[in-house]
């Protein structure tokens, strides 16, 4: 699964990689949690055709047919193996895809019956990347419009499966267009290359959503010489 991630890159770095023209006011976020608003990129039609567009979306998909947004916390992830068939995701999978920018994500390794060790996981040669995502637009009974999103997951890369059996779908930069325009499907929903993954143990402070500071992405002393990712 993917339940926490970080995004600390500058707006300029994101514009350069994803090609959007908007200039959102982005502060570094070291511990992004579900049900908060997060950055996303979708294709939007304009005078010059379809262009990447940055927008903010509630993390936790709210299907257009939902009666309320209450269950969105259970929709933060969509399993790639079933996303095309599940009623909550299939419409968005066909026509409302997005990229969700990130620098790293967190996962927890079971170390005992009631203990878990958090790890920070990223891509060694790709400090800014994108998860494969889906988005929806939901209108409340009183007319409020809420854009929401979910992150697709797949089986973990071999190098990190000891931490957790699942991981978010991470797209290579060359696959961004194919994902957004719907031409790429199941062939993109796969574990990322195991030899490009980089990871280390971090402080248990990341488990508290109120903590959001640079120290959360620092390796703990016992991680050896692997060093900090970003």
In the chain, where does DSSP find H-type helix? 11-18, 90-95, 176-180
Say whether 149 is catalytic.
no
- Angstrom CA distances, 216 to 54, 64, 77, 176, 213, stand at 26, 35, 23, 29, 6
81 counts as catalytic: no
Q: Which of 12, 45, 107, 186 is catalytic?
A: 107
d(CA 168, CA 179): 15
SS3 67: coil
The Cα–Cα gap between 20 and 26 comes to: 14
Q: What are phi and psi of 219, to 5 degrees?
A: -70, 150
Residues annotated as part of the active site = 2, 107
């Amino acid at each position: 699964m993917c339940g926490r991630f970080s995004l600390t890159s500058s707006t300029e770095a994101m514009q350069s990689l994803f090609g959007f023209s908007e200039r959102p006011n982005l502060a570094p976020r070291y511990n992004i949690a579900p049900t908060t608003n997060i950055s996303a990129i979708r294709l939007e039609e304009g005078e010059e055709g379809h262009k990447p567009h940055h927008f903010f979306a509630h993390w936790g998909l709210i299907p257009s047919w939902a009666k309320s947004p209450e269950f969105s916390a259970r929709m933060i992830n969509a399993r790639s193996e079933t996303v095309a068939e599940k009623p909550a995701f299939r419409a968005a999978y066909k026509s409302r895809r997005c990229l969700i920018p990130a620098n790293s994500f967190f996962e927890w390794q079971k170390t005992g019956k009631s203990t878990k060790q958090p790890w920070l996981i990223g891509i060694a040669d790709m400090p800014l990347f994108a998860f494969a995502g889906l988005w929806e637009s939901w209108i409340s009974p009183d007319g409020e419009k809420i854009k929401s999103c979910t992150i697709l997951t797949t089986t973990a890369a071999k190098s990190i499966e000891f931490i957790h059996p699942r991981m978010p779908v991470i797209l290579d930069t060359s696959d961004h267009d194919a994902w957004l325009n719907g031409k790429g499907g199941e062939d993109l929903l796969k574990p990322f290359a195991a030899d490009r993954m980089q990871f280390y143990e971090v402080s248990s402070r990341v488990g508290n959503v109120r903590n959001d500071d640079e120290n959360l992405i620092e390796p703990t002393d016992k991680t050896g010489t692997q060093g900090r990712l970003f």
